[in-house]
Amino acid sequence: MKKRYWRCFVCNDVHYGVAPPEVCPTCQVVNAYIEITAEEARKFLGGGPDITFTPVDFRQAVERFTAGNEFVVNPDQEKVETLLQGIFENEKNHGFKYCPCRLFTKNWEEDLKLVCPCNFKIHETYRGVENGECWCGLFVRRR
Amino acid sequence: MARLLMFHGRECPHCKKMMPIVERLEQETGLRFEKHEIWHDEKNQDLMRSFQPVIAPKCGGQLRVPTFLNVDTNDAICGEVDSDKLKAWAEKK
């Protein structure tokens, strides 16, 4: 199923997926999404508020992401610091928070799979592995 | 002697861990790895991409680092490996 872009006509929330959310998570309006082009989505996303999302913010975001999940952020602080530095360097230099332990291919669809957090649960370093971790080691299986 | 390449990333913890292992192996055996940092050097990125058909099938379908490539045998391994395993791989004809 092909993913498409959707925009809430009330608050301009942008959603990328097969179908839009029934309720807008930002303004709570029901059935508010209309399909838009990728170009229009980029304009809305680029024209949003100038929010500085720091490595500290990202660290907090991934901590929240792991809450209640079967994985946690790696307790090795030095490793995490190195990875966060790489993730933000990659965003600055290449536009996305690419995994510092993989190289983007210039194939857009393939490269979306490298944006942190990636879908590491399907990787051989995690799936079915007792002490599994994502390829870079930012996330490790909860013990 | 085979042409051996090591692709690594400056902010990749696995690469940081492998670097002294590789350097020690070089000192002990005379093996030489051409080291290419891939996140801050566009030429090195292109070089690694040029070997995608060789590397990807051995590395989960992706261009992962660290990756060790033997250009002569078209063989690659990626990730953290111990010194003995890397030596055996590098000396494989």
Provide the ipTM: 0.92
DSSP state of A48: S
- To test the contact with chain A by mutation, choose from B5, B11, B40 the residue with the greatest count of A C-beta atoms within 10 A, namely B11
Q: Region A129-141: what's the mean pLDDT?
A: 96
- The span from the CA of A56 to the CA of A87, in Å, is 12
Whether residue A135 lies within 8 A of chain B, CB to CB, comes out as yes
Of A83, A103, A135, the CB nearest to B11: A83
pLDDT for A33-45, tens place per residue?
999 999 899 888 8
Q: Where are the alpha helices (DSSP H) in chain B?
A: 13-29, 42-50, 52-55, 83-91
Which pair of tokens denotes residue A28? Answer: 């709570």
pLDDT for A43-93, tens place per residue?
888 765 556 789 999 999 999 999 989 999 999 999 999 999 999 999 999
Which pair of tokens denotes residue A80? Answer: 């995490």
Under an 8 A CB cutoff, do A103 and B63 touch? Answer: yes
Give the CA distances from residue B42 to residues A5, A95, B4, B5, in Å, rounded to whole numbers and listed in that order: 31, 15, 20, 16
- The span from the CA of B13 to the CA of B10, in Å, is 8
Q: Where are the alpha helices (DSSP H) in chain A?
A: 38-46, 55-66, 77-94, 108-111
> What local confidence, expressed as pLDDT, does residue A50 receive?
58
A91: closest chain B residue by CA: B39
Closest C-alpha to A108, from A96, A118, A91: A96
C-alpha angle A17/A18/A22, rounded to 5°? 80
Give the CA distances from residue B68 to residues B3, B21, B32, B64, in Å, rounded to whole numbers and listed in that order: 11, 13, 11, 10
Interface of B with A in 17-76 (CB under 8 A): 38-40, 45, 48-49, 52, 60, 62-65
Q: Region B66-88: what's the mean pLDDT?
A: 97
